[in-house]
Amino acid sequence: MEQLTDPFARAITYLRVSVTDRCDFRCSYCMDEGTRFLPRADLLSLEELDRLCSVFIGLGVRKLRLTGGEPLLRRNVMSLFRGLSRHLETGALHELTLTTNGSTLAAHAADLAACGVRRVNVSLDSLRADRFRAITRRGDLGAVLAGIAAARTAGLRVKINTVALRGVNEDELIDLARWAGAEGHDLSFIEVMPVGEMPMQDRAATFLSLAEVRARLADHLTLTDLPETTGGPARYVRAAETGQRIGFITPLSHGFCEACNRVRISATGTLFPCLGQEGGTDLRAPLRGSEGDAALTRAIRAAIGRKPRGHDFGYGAGGATGQVGRGMNRTGG
C-alpha cells in the first residue's frame, strides 16, 4: 500500500501506541497526584491494538513503540508483544520496543527478549533513592535498577531517559551520565514540556535548557557530535571517556519538527498527529465499525493529511505557550 506521507512530504514510519493510561508512579512533571484513570471499558482491547498496529505496519510504519502510562501494567500485555512479533519475523516491522518506568521490568525482561524486542527505554531521573521517590511520588529506585539489570541479562539494550529539571536533579546529571556510561547504557536528556493539566508556573520554574546541560557535560566529558539517529527526536553526541551515546531531546530550546516521522495513538484509539497540538482523530469507531480495514485506513490517511508542521511549545515571562491539556499518560510517552 502507498506509504503514509503528511502534507509536508514527511514519511510516517514511527508509531507510538499507549496500551494503558494507568501508571504506578505520579512523576511530578507528568501527572497530578489526583489523576483519575479511564474506565477499563474505554480502552482498546489487546486484539484491537494488534489489529490497529498491523494496519499501520501495512501502511509503512517500520518502528513500533508501546507506551503508557506504564505499559507493563496492562494485564496480559505480553500477548500483544507476542502477536506483534510476527511482523518482525516477516520483515515488515524493523523494530518493536517500549518505554517503561522499569518498576516491573525485572519480571518481563526475558519474555520481551523472546518476543524480538531488542532494546527498551527506561525513565530514570535520579540515582538517589529519596530524590527518586520524591520525583515519582512513590517509586522504588531499587526495583527500577533491578529491572534495568534484568534487561541487560536478557540481552536487551537499555537507553535511559532523564528529564532535566532545574533545582531538582540538575546537580546529578553528570553523575547520571557517568553511571549510564559505566553500565553500558546510552542516555537521553529531555526538556520538560508544557503537557498536561498541571500548574505551568511549576513547569516553567523547573525548565532547564539542554544547551545548558550540554555545556556542563562538556566541562567533564569530551563530546563529539554524531550524524546518526534512531528515528526519534534526539540529537546525539559520543562521550569519549565512556564510549556511550548521549542524546538531547529539545522540544523547546531547539525544535526538531522539520524531520518528524511519528504519530501517537492513545489507549482509547485516538490518533494524535502531533504531541504538541490538541487535535486528534478517533480511530476506535472505524476500527469497531467493520471487520474490514478499508474505513480504518481511510480515517488514518485523512488524519495524517492533517498533521501540522510542528508544535508551539515554549516558556516565557507570561508562562507557557503551546500548552496541551491532555496528560502524557493518555497521549502515550
Separation between Cα atoms, residue 129 and residue 119, nearest integer Å: 25
262 is known to lie in a ligand binding site: yes
**The C-alpha cell of 72 is what?**
507493563
115 is in an annotated binding site: no
On whether 63 is known to bind a ligand per the annotation, the reply is: no
The answer to whether the annotation marks 260 as part of a ligand binding site is yes
Mean pLDDT, rounded, for 236-257? 82
Residue 65 annotated as binding?
yes
Q: How far apart are CA 290 and CA 273, in angstroms?
A: 23
Global pTM value: 0.90
**274 marked as binding residue:** yes
The CATH superfamily of 14-331 is Aldolase class I (3.20.20.70)
Main-chain phi, psi angles of 10, to 5 degrees: -95, 120
pLDDT digits (tens, 9 = 90+) for 16-50: 999 999 999 998 888 877 788 889 889 999 999 99
- Give 40 or 147, the one with higher predicted confidence: 147
**Rounded-to-integer distance, Cα 201 and Cα 167, Å:** 14
Judge whether 30 is annotated as a binding position: yes
247 annotated ligand-binding residue: no
pLDDT digit string (tens) for 277-298?
Answer: 677 899 999 999 999 999 999 9
Q: What is the mean pLDDT of the chain?
A: 89
Q: Which residue has the higher pLDDT, 179 or 256?
A: 179
Place of cell 527506561: 122
Taking the C-alpha atoms of 308, 310, 312 and 315 in order, what is their torsion angle to the nearest 10 degrees?
Answer: 160
Rounded Cα distance between 134 and 140, Å, is: 10
Q: How many CB atoms lie within 10 A of CB 247?
A: 23
- Give dist(CA 262, CA 210) in Å, integer: 22
Tell me the helices (H) and strands (E) count for the chain, helix number first: 11, 14
Of 64, 46, 55, the residue nearest 294 (C-alpha): 55
Q: Look up residue 32 and give its three cell numbers.
A: 497530578
Confidence of residue 200 (pLDDT cuts 50, 70, 90): very low
Question: For residue 143, what pLDDT band results from cuts at 50, 70 and 90?
Answer: very high
Q: Do 275 and 283 form a contact (C-beta atoms < 8 A)?
A: no
User: Is the Cα torsion angle 54, 55, 58, 63 positive or negative in sign?
Assistant: negative
CB neighbour list of residue 9: distance below 8 Å, 6 or more residues apart: none
Q: Where are the domains of the chain?
A: 14-331
Nearest-angstrom CA–CA distance, 232 and 275: 13
> Would you say 53 is a known binding-site residue?
no
Is the model's pLDDT at 187 over the cut of 70? yes
Q: Would the annotation count 16 as a binding residue?
A: yes
For residue 203, say whether it is annotated as part of any ligand binding site. no
Q: Is the pLDDT of residue 330 over 90?
A: no
CA–CA distances in Å: residue 215 to residues 165, 173, 192, 211, 236:
15, 12, 18, 6, 14
d(CA 194, CA 151): 31
Asked if residue 307 belongs to a known ligand binding site, the reply is no
Which residue has better confidence, 276 or 96?
96
User: Is residue 180 over pLDDT 90?
Assistant: yes
